[in-house]
Structure 1
Amino acid sequence: MAALVLGTLAGCSSDSGGKADPTAGATHKAAAPVRLPVPDGFATETGWSTSASPEATDAEPGSSGFPLVAVAPTSGLVIQAAADGSRVRAFALASGKTVWTFTPKALTGVRAGVFVQEGKAGEKVVLARQGKTSGSGLSTSRRTTTIDVIAADSAKKATAAHHLDLAAPDDTAASFTATDSGILVGPVTDGVHEKAVAIDAATGAERSVQKRSVTVSGCGSGSCSVQASPAFATSQGVVSAFQQQDGCDQWAEGGTPCTYGFQVGDAWNSTSVAPSGMHVGIPLAVTGPYLVAAWHTSDTQTDPPTLSAPKRTILAVHDLSTGKIKAQVSCTSADAITLQPGSAQSSIHRSPNGDFLVSGQVGFDLSTGRGHCFTSTASTKGIDLTAVADDGTAYGIVHVVDDTEATSLYGRLPIAQDGTDTPEHDSARVSLRSGTATALPAASEVPVYVASGGHGVFRTRDVVAVYPGS
């Protein structure tokens, strides 16, 4: 892509830094479209666009971070938050018309993120902010994390159905780990929380979640208990990840291999659904009724699991409620990319018809159970997938290996940072039916969402644009 680089819809942070926010004007409206360089199949002469604020790198790579743009697919809305958290605006995806706006209680020094969650009560927009209260009057200023939940089908002047104010200790750098069905608030290390607050967007209820004891099989001659840390929340409960250290052979000297694994709520754990011969399972992401996990054998437990060569890794789509594998594919990569709990959450998307799914560098045809790898080889570069359409056409950014932690994490999309000269990225179009990949013209932007009617949503460092299919 050109100097305008895609900012992921989930996995970013932002701080206004005292600069004027282009999204904050009360009379702001979607304008005639800026004509970005996009793939064939999108009509850039029609549609709409609006200004956007750059999304800076999240302090905790691998978490879902602080995105400023999200899509509510059922409601047909593009949701945009101001960088300073002072306003949320919902645009009709097809027309760009402002459907509603939301103005939260004021905070200072804000980092804001906006998410869309789906439940039985319909789509909810979640505005998550870190900042400080004003300290006016007799009240002292204090750090806080606030959560505002707004119904996606709100009227013109939206109000929060639920408002949560969570005290934030001065020595704690909290983050948000959000999926389309749950949110955790708390410090993140290597993709997991020591402890966190789980938020139910439907009810506004909050509860504390911490490490839990999980029983795993294969500990020598029997079972043993391990401590599992919360990674992300789903409709089936919190997914917790663990690393077995006792009752196993950590040095691959002929004993029972140690296990990396995970527990999904109280429903199932990875040891009961692991593919044959796979001792390591990492929960990468969740969307709707599916969880994507990475599986492979392990020689030792001294290093984090990686997607590399020549050892093969199985990427699988599991039924979230039962653990049953719905689709899978075996992959290798010429790049050593760390597999971390939740690291592919920012890149997981289903096609609107539900037939296809992408996450990280793999894509699946759920109707056939087949998957395709778009990982690197000795002669080709990997592709980080960003969106998939109803016909199985997916788009992505050519993976760039550099010294940043973000590029070493599987599934993490590149983020456009404010005040930096972001390098150009190449991009590609792939078919999840055939597994073929085609390079796009230089400087092409790729969509972050493709609607059932063909509209593509594009996000650069300072523009959000929506173009109809041509």
Structure 2
Amino acid sequence: MAALVLCVLAGCSDASGGKADPTTGATHKAAAPVRLPVPDGFDTEAGWSTSASPEATDTEPGSSGFPLVAVAPQSALVIQAAADGSRVRAFSLTSGKTVWTFTPKPLTSARTGVFVQEGKAGETVVLARLGKTSGSGLTTSRPTTTIDVISADSDSKATAEHHLDLAAPDDTASSFTATDSGFLVGPTTDGVHEKAIAIDAATGAQRTVQTKPVKVSGCGSGPCTVQASPAFATAEGVVSVFQQQDGCDQWTESAAPCTYGFQVGDAWTSTSVAPSGMHVGIPLAVTGQYLVAAWHTSDTQTDPPALSDTDKTTLVVHDLATGKIKAKVNCTSADALTLQPGSAQSSTRLSPNGDFLISGQAGFDLATGRGHCFTSTASTKGIDLTTVADDGTAYGIVHAVDQTEGTSLYGRLPIAQDGTDTPERDSARVSVRTGTAKALPAAAEVPLYAAADGHGVFRTRNVVAVYPAS
């Protein structure tokens, strides 16, 4: 059974009714490691896990659609949140010992996500919960979104440096949109917010961002005014997406094509850095100092942009601060995967040394500026990448096409649906340097994080296991 790796960008919002708390009752001494079936190169006789058996805590009926495990690489911590948001525990990446625990104010019917963000002051852990306050006495229960920001280097009994309680009306289905340097809270439709609250984890400050008119260049044959909607937040500001509605008519021969693009804060606009001949840009994810975008030549404005086998998609790594192109590759896919703002956030990672970047089904060697596609063809299956090591070795889950939203969106890693177990997945190991791929033995787990010292972080069901390099 392949590792359960959850969406970092919200949009898959299955309700969770789980009562199990895999962190409850854990001691300061890590459990003897469960021996998961993992790729060669990891020592399952050593390391640690949160349980001695993957069956022992397999009682939770499904994920909330948000990540319950995150890694703080600078602090060398593995963070695990209970599904109901009742506790967060930080483990030493190398030893498995409990470094700190955090117990937030209680919420009922909570859907929980835990995220790690990097800033000038270091790493912070963000516990985000959608739920209801517990009514008592004359106080009625109400829906709320709570955000707790905890320093990664907290003492054993951690406290929140910032606590936000964002009341929401009953008819508002809020969601979280998180990158490693930004956080938005608000309803989402097709990867964008009409209105959201941007939260600065470093200060706890919040501000409202919403759809607004902006003037951009490169709309077909000239500038135009478009409506730009927030998609996700970054260290360079909120990334907003837009689609040109006026001043173009591609149905007429030699007419100017319509533009679909994005703006990064006040720093740059996609139309000013678009690859030659490209008029459709979709921001897929952010990691570190890079933004990954998908580019097409034109937009029919009838169907969502897709990675298909008929037209090539150019996947580009941009410098987040300037928009400069750092690497790119042309890909096709036999699976016709929808390209949506933020859809590849959960599968976008840098190697610890920063030399390699993976995103969705593509990997990039940033030193050479070249990329490789691990997408499907008529005879091969696509690979959704989960992590990449310092030598360019990456791991992934073989893409399984079904009727769920998660498998139709490009870059969205599989999650457990409410009331189901983690589906069995085939897995693979690839080389981002050469573009070669090799299937792993049946039922092999793949790491969700590969540390610089060789440790691999694995998760299956409610069990987190960390093995050193063998």
CA distance in 1, matches of 2:26, 2:436: 46
CA distance in 1, matches of 2:252, 2:445: 46
Gaps of 5+ in 2: 52-56
Kindly provide the CA deviation profile for residues 104-151 of structure 1, in whole angstroms up to 9, marking residues without a partner as x. Answer: 111111111100000001100000011111112322211110000000
8 Å Cα contact 2:61-2:419 kept in structure 1: no
For structure 1, which segment, 248-257 or 237-246, has the greater mean C-alpha deviation from structure 2 after superposition? 248-257
CA distance in 1, matches of 2:16, 2:28: 18
CA distance in 2, matches of 1:467, 1:105: 34
CA distance in 2, matches of 1:32, 1:252: 68
8 Å Cα contact 1:226-1:242 kept in structure 2: yes
The question of 1:97 aligning with 2:97 is answered yes
What secondary structure does 2:271 align onto? helix
For structure 1, which segment, 198-207 or 247-256, has the greater mean C-alpha deviation from structure 2 after superposition? 247-256
What secondary structure does 2:50 align onto? strand
Q: Which amino acid aligns with 1:427?
A: S
**Which residue is equivalent to 1:154?**
154
The question of 1:397 aligning with 2:397 is answered yes
1:225 and 1:289, CA in 2 relative to 1: closer, same or farther beyond 3 A? Answer: same
8 Å Cα contact 2:23-2:88 kept in structure 1: no
**Which residue is equivalent to 1:460?**
460
**Which residue is equivalent to 1:410?**
410
**Which residue is equivalent to 2:230?**
230
Q: Which amino acid aligns with 1:22?
A: P
CA distance in 1, matches of 2:304, 2:127: 33
| CA drift at 1:9 | 5.9
Q: How many residues are paired up?
A: 462
| CA drift at 1:30 | 2.9
| CA drift at 1:27 | 4.3
**Which residue is equivalent to 2:138?**
138
| CA drift at 1:50 | 1.1
1:268 and 1:157, CA in 2 relative to 1: closer, same or farther beyond 3 A? Answer: same
CA distance in 2, matches of 1:44, 1:304: 44
8 Å Cα contact 1:456-1:467 kept in structure 2: yes
| CA drift at 1:249 | 1.6
The question of 1:67 aligning with 2:73 is answered no
8 Å Cα contact 1:15-1:84 kept in structure 2: no
CA distance in 2, matches of 1:424, 1:350: 26
What secondary structure does 1:8 align onto? coil
Kindly provide the CA deviation profile for residues 296-351 of structure 1, in whole angstroms up to 9, marking residues without a partner as x. Answer: 11251111000011211110100000000001111111110000000000111110
CA distance in 1, matches of 2:221, 2:131: 51
TM normalised by structure 2 equals 0.95
**Which residue is equivalent to 2:33?**
33
**Which residue is equivalent to 2:6?**
8
**Which residue is equivalent to 1:50?**
50
TM normalised by structure 1 equals 0.95
What secondary structure does 1:213 align onto? strand
Q: Which amino acid aligns with 2:352?
A: P
Q: What is the correspondence of 1:186-335 to structure 2 with a 5 Å cutoff?
A: 186-219=186-219, 221-251=221-251, 253-298=253-298, 300-335=300-335
| CA drift at 1:417 | 3.3
1:237 and 1:220, CA in 2 relative to 1: closer, same or farther beyond 3 A? Answer: closer
Q: Which amino acid aligns with 1:8?
A: L
Q: Which amino acid aligns with 1:258?
A: C
For structure 1, which segment, 49-58 or 293-302, has the greater mean C-alpha deviation from structure 2 after superposition? 49-58
8 Å Cα contact 2:109-2:132 kept in structure 1: yes
8 Å Cα contact 1:13-1:113 kept in structure 2: no
Q: Which amino acid aligns with 2:121?
A: A
8 Å Cα contact 1:55-1:67 kept in structure 2: no
Gaps of 5+ in 1: 59-64
CA distance in 2, matches of 1:113, 1:88: 10
Kindly provide the CA deviation profile for residues 392-418 of structure 1, in whole angstroms up to 9, marking residues without a partner as x. Answer: 000001111111111010000011235
8 Å Cα contact 1:199-1:205 kept in structure 2: yes
